[in-house]
Amino acid sequence: MAVSKLSMRRVIISNLFEYLKLNYDFERPAEPSPSVQISDRDIDIALSYKSDHRLGELREALSRVEKGTYGYCIGCKRPLTRADLEEDPAKRVCASCEESFKMVRHTARAPQSADTSR
């Protein structure tokens, strides 16, 4: 994927603040200039009082950008599609692995037949 870390961060941060605005009426902090980024510390301060699954997913996505693992499936390690990441910048699993995980969960939840003849 030929997208820079900075542009990946911007997309994720934009989604994070859009989610905060829609769900918590939280306004994005003003950035002094277009070349200055909102720091991870600023994000942590803004989110410190929120315990929300979606916010956690977006924070993890920012962490994956820094580690260099953003945009890759956590299951098969192949690159995720651009369309998947545009739909959900916090996406961690490709469609193939997601289907496999669903099948495993479904199988794990299936009731075991009890043998009552003993």
Q: What CATH number is attached to the domain comprising 23?
A: 1.20.120
DSSP state string for 68-96: T-TTB-TTT-PBPPHHHHHH-TT--S-HH
Amino acid 1: pLDDT: 45
Question: pTM for the complete prediction?
Answer: 0.64
Residue 115 within any structural domain of the chain: no
> Does residue 102 sit within a domain?
yes
Show Cβ contacts of residue 28 under 8 Å, excluding neighbours closer than 6 positions: 17, 20, 21
The pLDDT value recorded for residue 67 is 92
CA distances, 20 to each of 16, 63, 83 (Å): 6, 19, 23
Q: How many domains in the chain?
A: 1
Domain, as residue range, for 38: 5-109
Which positions of the chain have pLDDT values less than 50?
A: 1, 118
**pLDDT value of residue 8:** 87
The per-residue pLDDT for 26 is 74
At 52 the pLDDT is 78
> Is residue 117 in some structural domain?
no
